[in-house]
């Protein structure tokens, strides 16, 4: 992409991220199909090769878009945008649950 195409695409990503944030916070409303379409368009836009610094800036400013991006890459990266404390707490809870399930299975 040329620099002007990159700028244009980043404006599109930001507009979609802003709209999703408005829907998520209740400032705008969307039907279920409208919400799904918005997220799909954002996923397509986020799937293109984007400048890392610009992308991270948008994902930091628009938490809902950050979650969409994180979900797109979850299989490879896990919860890489989640705060460390939350990620560690989630991991500990999962470990305890799996241990309890294993104990229950041994008893049965």
Mean pLDDT of 42-68: 91
Per residue in 75-92, pLDDT tens? Answer: 555 555 555 455 566 777
Per residue in 13-36, pLDDT tens? Answer: 999 999 999 999 999 999 999 999
Q: Which of 87, 105, 98, 17 is nearest to 54 (CA)?
A: 17
- Whether the pLDDT of residue 61 is over 90: the answer is yes
pLDDT at 84: 47
Per-domain residue ranges for the chain? 3-77, 79-108
Full-prediction pTM beyond 0.85?
Answer: no
């Amino acid at each position: 992409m040329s620099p002007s195409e990159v700028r244009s695409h980043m404006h599109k990503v930001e507009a979609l991220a802003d709209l999703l944030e408005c829907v998520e916070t209740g400032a705008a409303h969307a039907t279920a199909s409208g919400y799904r379409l918005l997220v799909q368009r954002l996923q397509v836009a986020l799937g293109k090769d984007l400048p890392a610094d610009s992308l991270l800036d948008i994902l930091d400013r628009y938490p809902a878009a950050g979650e969409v991006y994180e979900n797109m890459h979850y299989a490879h990266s896990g919860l890489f945008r989640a705060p460390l404390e939350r990620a560690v707490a989630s991991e500990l809870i999962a470990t305890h649950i799996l241990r309890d399930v294993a104990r229950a299975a041994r008893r049965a």
